[in-house]
């Protein structure tokens, strides 16, 4: 079975480009009920189970742990300050995320111990949405490459499948 050059180009671009978008690791950190809740997930919204989470204040690591089966890790007793949260999982690493914890984020000691379920994260939804613009751009580039290939073939006068010296490719 033979492929025409444009079909081969499309095949290589589609197969070769897939790993470029595969599994970016992301974090979503926020205060919930006086605790720092860190969700670690991939760009397809799959939770990163057993991912390593580290919280740093400058160069010093102040807390670290591993996520559960839902990709969640909780720092129970954070102190006010500015921290950098970082996630790592099976060869993937998230971009550092800066979190500022204020005194107002930490409830008084006599407050209820159960903050209830965390609200849905708007940040996570924005990070995991389908990149339609990038998909359209990629398909446009592929279509443009095919169009240029066809224009070039017509200008050289060679029919598809025939080389410049009249021999069948």
Least confident residue range of 27-41, 49-63, 127-141, 148-162: 148-162
Q: What is the mean pLDDT of residues 7-29?
A: 71
- Examine residue 160 and state whether it is found in any structural domain, yes or no: no
- Examine residue 16 and state whether it is found in any structural domain, yes or no: no
- What is the average pLDDT score of the chain? 80
> Binning pLDDT at 50, 70 and 90, where does residue 163 land?
low
Q: Tell me, what's the pLDDT at 43?
A: 82
- Examine residue 12 and state whether it is found in any structural domain, yes or no: no
Q: Tell me, what's the pLDDT at 97?
A: 93
Q: Tell me, what's the pLDDT at 21?
A: 47
- Examine residue 168 and state whether it is found in any structural domain, yes or no: no
Spell out a b/e string for 31-54, using b for 16 or more CB atoms within 10 Å of the CB, else e: bebbbbbbbbbbbeeebbbebbbb
Contact 23, 43 (CB under 8 A): yes
> How many Å apart are CA 18 and CA 29, to the nearest integer?
28
Contact 52, 89 (CB under 8 A): yes
Q: Tell me, what's the pLDDT at 29?
A: 92
- Examine residue 114 and state whether it is found in any structural domain, yes or no: yes
- Find the domain containing 39 and state its range: 23-123
Pick the more confident residue, 3 or 72: 72
- Examine residue 146 and state whether it is found in any structural domain, yes or no: no
Provide the domain count of the chain.
1
Instruction: List the CATH number of the domain containing 85.
Output: 2.60.40.10
- Examine residue 85 and state whether it is found in any structural domain, yes or no: yes
Q: Tell me, what's the pLDDT at 135?
A: 79
Question: What is the token pair recorded at 118?
Answer: 């965390």
- Examine residue 98 and state whether it is found in any structural domain, yes or no: yes
> How many Å apart are CA 109 and CA 73, to the nearest integer?
22
Pick the more confident residue, 101 or 11: 101
């Amino acid at each position: 079975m033979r492929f025409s050059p444009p079909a081969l180009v499309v095949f290589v671009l589609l197969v070769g480009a897939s790993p470029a978008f595969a599994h970016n690791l992301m974090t979503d950190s926020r205060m919930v009920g006086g605790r720092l809740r860190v969700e670690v997930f991939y760009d397809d919204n799959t939770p990163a189970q057993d991912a390593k989470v580290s919280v740093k204040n400058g160069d010093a690591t102040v807390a670290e742990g591993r996520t559960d089966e839902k990709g969640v890790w909780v720092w129970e007793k954070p102190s006010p300050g500015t921290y950098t949260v970082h996630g790592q999982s099976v060869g993937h690493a998230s971009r550092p995320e800066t979190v500022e914890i204020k005194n107002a984020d930490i409830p008084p000691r006599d407050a209820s111990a159960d903050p209830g379920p965390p609200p849905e994260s708007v940040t996570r939804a924005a990070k995991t949405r389908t990149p339609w613009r990038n998909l359209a751009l990629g398909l446009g580039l592929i279509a443009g490459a095919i169009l240029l290939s066809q224009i070039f073939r017509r200008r050289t006068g060679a029919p598809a499948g025939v080389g410049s010296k009249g021999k069948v490719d």
